[in-house]
Chains A and B, each alone.
Chain A
Amino acid sequence: MAEFNVRSDSVDVEQIMRQIRARIREKRGADYTEQELQQLASVKLEKFLDPRGVRSDLVDQFRRHRVVSPEPPKYEFEDTTLYETHRGPLRFIRKLLHPILKLFINPNPLIHALHVQKQVNDEFHKRFRQREEMDPLYYEVVHNLVVEITRLGIEVHNLRMRAESLSSRMDFDERRGRSLESVVQYRPQPSPQQQQQPQGQRGPRGDHRPSAPAPAAAPAGNHTASPAVSAPADGNGGTAPVIPAPSPAGPGGAPQQGNRHEGGGERRRRRRRRRRRPGQNLADSPGSAGTAGPIGAGATTRTEGTAGTADAPGGPDFDNDGPDGDDGPDDNGAADQ
């Protein structure tokens, strides 16, 4: 989660807000403008399209309960309606007395209003019918939208989980890489004689070291050498990377360089290290080669002292990266965390 670089008491709120905004941008991938956000916010479909709030059998329910409203009673209203009767003489008398009636009241506005009302009713009924016919279509559309949204929601959820998983893996890799970088050591360029060291040479302890290709040499003329992460498989055919370390100067003052072998002696040393108490490095153990310094003169690629450094808490255990399946990235990662 958010990590703010609060370095001292003199914090700057604007800077913190910039950090917060940067984190938000990082999280959502793309930065929306305020206008875009307003547009998104104005689409108030969220509640309606919430799949949890919509019945799955919405359309069926709707069809089942669909009731076609009965047609309202119709009536006609014309200028003669007020005087209509099935009796002919009466109709005549009414028409005859119409001017007298108009002396008392003016029925024309009333007639007009009712005539207009009749037209309005007809129009309204027509529109209402159209609306009723359209409703099933709307519900179909809404239903389809809800289904689509649900599908998209699930997809988004899956993608989010994948993204989180990838993100955590990337974080882990990044941390591991950083911890490797912090302990990487540089190997001075080996002299040609050392490079041509006879294969199958016995170590100082009499270990028979099987032949193995020499680690990749640094570019010529580069005494500091590149990080030696290009080491090939060790003698046992393992594929784990070997990070050669610069050996302390040998008795002759020249850095000792040789092949790294995974012989029986190496395995024994590894076992000894595993038995060592936590927090105790190789230099602390009695008779450690690290304290002896140039024990591996002319034979070992790295001294025990260097190995002790690599075994320090928080650092990766390169020796455990061997072919014996003792690879422990999780250990290192956990230690780094």
Chain B
Amino acid sequence: MKLAVVVQRYGADISGGAELHARYVAERLARHASVEVLTTCARDYVSWRNELPPGAEQINGVTVRRFLVARPRDTNDFGRRSLLVFERPHSIADELKWLDSEGPASFDLVRHITRVKADFDFFVFFSYRYYHAWHGARAVPEKAVLVPTAERDPAIGLGIFGPVFRGVRAVMYNSFEERALIQSVSGRQGPGVVVGVGSAIPERTQPWRFRKKFHVKRPFAIYLGRIDENKGCRQLFAFFERYAVMYPQGLDLILVGSKHLEIPRHPRIRHVGFLSDEDKFDGLSAADVLIMPSQFESLSMVALEAWALGKPVLANGRCDVLRGQCVRSNGGLYYLDFEEFAEALYALEGTGPLGAILGANGREFFKRHYTWPVIERKYLEMFERLKREPAGAAPDPLPGFFARRKRTLPPGREVMNTAPAGPVLR
């Protein structure tokens, strides 16, 4: 079996959620099939500038073929078009221009996919909302498997994505909430499975090493990831400062990751910067609890890593996916406001009985659903099934010149708001 993984960026040092997901999946599937990664020369997800050389290279034993991005993103233009398609009635032409503006517009990549269509059994497209996935999936619908990594944002309500969701052969969802959302906005009925992604969990961690290296003496909660307002860190800081006043003997907060937001100067909040995987896992195992303040997650790999290490998670309850995972796994608590944050964090302190039990549940949940053998099996079973079953109908063709320009589509946000919300509990 020959597979192509198509993703917007790819590299050993690229740590974005969907990109890392793609790399893990590519490297794992390479054990069972011949895998080639098709991607762009971009490294920066904001500008999509060509920073890496075009052509083929090997990364961790997987062939990676890069293609030039035709033009970098004009952020002003993208912002203006986003406002139009998300907030006002618009046309299909507006949405297509928005997609071009979002990028990474790599015509070479799409042309290559069309050219080598016959060489591969399946094309696995990551991140539905980008140029490569939309055009690529339309170029090879009968071989397209989509890993949408969809979040509850207005882009999911755009009209151009419905035919793609319905037209691809299979959809590999990250969570039950994502599946409910996509099925609701697109009406997809075809094959699909909730897979998610595993993680490279070390067999042994050394919490004391982290404590010694960073001179950590008190018990602490940990946040792992980009320290960014979009990740809910501002709210986390505000909540934690109030929690620290309420519980002077409570947990400290240690932040791990690159800083894109001013961190308040507080004796119980500490930023240790971006860490190696070894330090990261040591830190996670030394922590009492992992805090996930992000409201927009299609799947939190960090939460899965915490569960894999037997640590409970305190998640933002406004994120349906995280809340659903906490409830389904019985491996973490969630909060909607400060009071719940403080009470839940207090309850999860390592000295209490609850944290250990939730952590153990989380570990079981991880073993059952997110270990690599389970994930690989789900992918391979899906490929086998698709080989057996005939391909469905191709995606609906785009309407004609004038129909495409009729501003009859509702705003993306309006469509998103009509989709069912809330976690899938059971």
- Interface set of A (CB-CB < 8 Å, partner B): 1-2, 4, 6, 9-14, 16-17, 20-21, 23-24, 27-28, 37
Whether B337 and A1, one on each chain, are in contact in the complex, defined by CB atoms closer than 8 angstroms, is no
- Chain B residues contacting A24 (CB-CB under 8 Å) are 339-340, 343
* CB-contact partner of A11 in B337, B343, B352, B361, under 8 A: B361
Whether B353 and A13, one on each chain, are in contact in the complex, defined by CB atoms closer than 8 angstroms, is no
Minimal beta-carbon separation of B351 from chain A (angstroms) = 12
- If A12-B330, A13-B332, A13-B333 touch, whether A20 touches B343 (CB-CB below 8 Å) is yes
Whether B347 and A16, one on each chain, are in contact in the complex, defined by CB atoms closer than 8 angstroms, is yes
Secondary structure at chain B's binding surface: helix, strand, loop or mixed? helix
Asked if B326 CB lies within 8 Å of chain A CBs, one says yes
Asked if B107 CB lies within 8 Å of chain A CBs, one says no
Minimal beta-carbon separation of B364 from chain A (angstroms) = 10
- If A6-B354, A9-B360, A24-B339 touch, whether A14 touches B347 (CB-CB below 8 Å) is no
Over the window 333-358 of chain B, the binary record of Cβ atoms lying under 8 Å from chain A Cβ atoms (1 yes, 0 no) is 11001011001101100001110011
Whether A13 and B340, one on each chain, are in contact in the complex, defined by CB atoms closer than 8 angstroms, is no
**13 new A-B contacts at CB < 8 Å, known A9-B360, A12-B330, A13-B330:** A1-B346, A4-B352, A6-B353, A6-B357, A11-B357, A13-B358, A14-B327, A14-B425, A16-B347, A17-B340, A20-B333, A28-B339, A37-B337
- If A1-B346, A24-B340 touch, whether A13 touches B326 (CB-CB below 8 Å) is yes
Minimal beta-carbon separation of A133 from chain B (angstroms) = 38
How far, in whole Å, are A292 and B327 apart by their CA atoms in the complex? 61
How far, in whole Å, are A37 and B339 apart by their CA atoms in the complex? 11
Whether A21 and B340, one on each chain, are in contact in the complex, defined by CB atoms closer than 8 angstroms, is yes
5 cross-chain pairs, A with B, having the tightest CB-CB distances, nearest first = A24-B339, A20-B343, A13-B330, A6-B353, A13-B327
- Chain B residues contacting A1 (CB-CB under 8 Å) are 346
Whether B354 and A4, one on each chain, are in contact in the complex, defined by CB atoms closer than 8 angstroms, is yes
- Chain A residues contacting B340 (CB-CB under 8 Å) are 17, 20-21, 24
How far, in whole Å, are A37 and B344 apart by their CA atoms in the complex? 19
Which residue on chain B has the smallest CB distance to residue A20? B343
Minimal beta-carbon separation of B248 from chain A (angstroms) = 13
- Chain A residues contacting B357 (CB-CB under 8 Å) are 6, 9, 11
- If A6-B353, A6-B354 touch, whether A11 touches B330 (CB-CB below 8 Å) is yes
Most buried by B among A9, A16, A37: A16
- Interface set of B (CB-CB < 8 Å, partner A): 326-327, 330-334, 337, 339-340, 343-344, 346-347, 352-354, 357-358, 360-361, 425
A-B contact pairs, 12 of them (CB 8 A): A2-B343, A2-B347, A9-B360, A11-B330, A11-B354, A11-B357, A13-B330, A14-B327, A16-B354, A17-B334, A20-B344, A28-B339
Minimal beta-carbon separation of B116 from chain A (angstroms) = 47
Minimal beta-carbon separation of B296 from chain A (angstroms) = 20
Whether B333 and A17, one on each chain, are in contact in the complex, defined by CB atoms closer than 8 angstroms, is yes
- If A2-B346, A16-B333, A20-B333 touch, whether A11 touches B358 (CB-CB below 8 Å) is yes
- Chain B residues contacting A14 (CB-CB under 8 Å) are 327, 425
How far, in whole Å, are A6 and B327 apart by their CA atoms in the complex? 16
Number of A-B contacts (CB under 8 A): 51
Minimal beta-carbon separation of B177 from chain A (angstroms) = 16
How far, in whole Å, are A17 and B358 apart by their CA atoms in the complex? 13
- Chain A residues contacting B346 (CB-CB under 8 Å) are 1-2
Whether A4 and B347, one on each chain, are in contact in the complex, defined by CB atoms closer than 8 angstroms, is yes
- Chain B residues contacting A23 (CB-CB under 8 Å) are 343
Minimal beta-carbon separation of A77 from chain B (angstroms) = 39
- Chain B residues contacting A13 (CB-CB under 8 Å) are 326-327, 330-334, 358
Which residue on chain A has the smallest CB distance to residue B326? A13
Minimal beta-carbon separation of B123 from chain A (angstroms) = 38
- Chain A residues contacting B343 (CB-CB under 8 Å) are 2, 20, 23-24
Minimal beta-carbon separation of A45 from chain B (angstroms) = 16
- Chain A residues contacting B333 (CB-CB under 8 Å) are 13, 16-17, 20
- Chain B residues contacting A10 (CB-CB under 8 Å) are 330
How far, in whole Å, are A16 and B331 apart by their CA atoms in the complex? 12
How far, in whole Å, are A12 and B425 apart by their CA atoms in the complex? 12
Minimal beta-carbon separation of A144 from chain B (angstroms) = 28
Which residue on chain A has the smallest CB distance to residue B317? A17
- Chain B residues contacting A11 (CB-CB under 8 Å) are 330, 354, 357-358, 361
- Chain B residues contacting A6 (CB-CB under 8 Å) are 353-354, 357
How far, in whole Å, are A230 and B361 apart by their CA atoms in the complex? 52
Minimal beta-carbon separation of B322 from chain A (angstroms) = 12
- Chain B residues contacting A27 (CB-CB under 8 Å) are 339
Which residue on chain B has the smallest CB distance to residue A12? B330
Which residue on chain A has the smallest CB distance to residue B344? A20
How far, in whole Å, are A13 and B334 apart by their CA atoms in the complex? 9
Most buried by B among A4, A10, A13: A13
How far, in whole Å, are A78 and B343 apart by their CA atoms in the complex? 72
Which residue on chain B has the smallest CB distance to residue A1? B346
Which residue on chain A has the smallest CB distance to residue B361? A11
- Chain A residues contacting B347 (CB-CB under 8 Å) are 2, 4, 16, 20
How far, in whole Å, are A28 and B339 apart by their CA atoms in the complex? 10
How far, in whole Å, are A23 and B330 apart by their CA atoms in the complex? 20
